[in-house]
Amino acid sequence: MHIRFFLLSLENYLTIYTMKKIVFALFLCALTAGSTCFAKQSISLLNGEWQVTEIYGQKNNDSDLMLGFNTKEHRIYGNSGCNTFFALISNASKKKISFGAMGATRMACHKDDNYKYTTAVSETAAYKIGKNNDTLELKNKKGEIVVRLTRTQK
């Protein structure tokens, strides 16, 4: 009788202990919302290719400028008008994102936007996706918009 009571008590204790751990983990996720708990879900909205519409507040007329996201592989890729480039996503959360060192082709380019665009992308520290998931703003550390884009494909 005592052993059965002990085993039932132990089972109840373990169940309660497990539930407390789960509730605590959910509480931590809620406290750090926008951090690692929800990062995969939110940055997955970036997946696909985006057309550049504006760089540093100036309208872009070069239809070749684009940025692509592959969040499963934690990488970006793009075309800067003359060269193609790529980088790893080094840090990402619900609103913040940064990229590792960029690699690029080295073609001789006479377009000013080539350098300006890759510089703006490398300055990125945060992002904002539009309500319909069809526009994207990349922002620097000061919160200034450095690049605006529209979705071309998912």
Sign of CA dihedral 125, 130, 136, 139: negative
Task: Identify whether the C-beta of residue 55 lies closer than 8 Å to the C-beta of residue 48.
Answer: no
pLDDT at 106: 87
Task: Identify whether the C-beta of residue 41 lies closer than 8 Å to the C-beta of residue 33.
Answer: no
pLDDT, tens digit (0-9, with 9 covering 90-100), for 10-39? 455 555 545 444 444 444 444 444 344 434
Q: Where are the beta strands (DSSP E) in the chain?
A: 48-55, 58-59, 66-70, 75-79, 84-92, 97-99, 103-104, 126-129, 135-139, 145-153
Q: What is the pTM of this model?
A: 0.71
Q: How far apart are CA 80 and CA 153, in angstroms?
A: 18
Q: How far apart are CA 66 and CA 76, in angstroms?
A: 11
pLDDT, tens digit (0-9, with 9 covering 90-100), for 101-154? 999 998 887 766 678 999 999 999 999 999 889 999 999 999 999 999 999 976
Q: How far apart are CA 83 and CA 44, in angstroms?
A: 26
Task: Identify whether the C-beta of residue 71 lies closer than 8 Å to the C-beta of residue 40.
Answer: yes
Residue type present at position 25? A
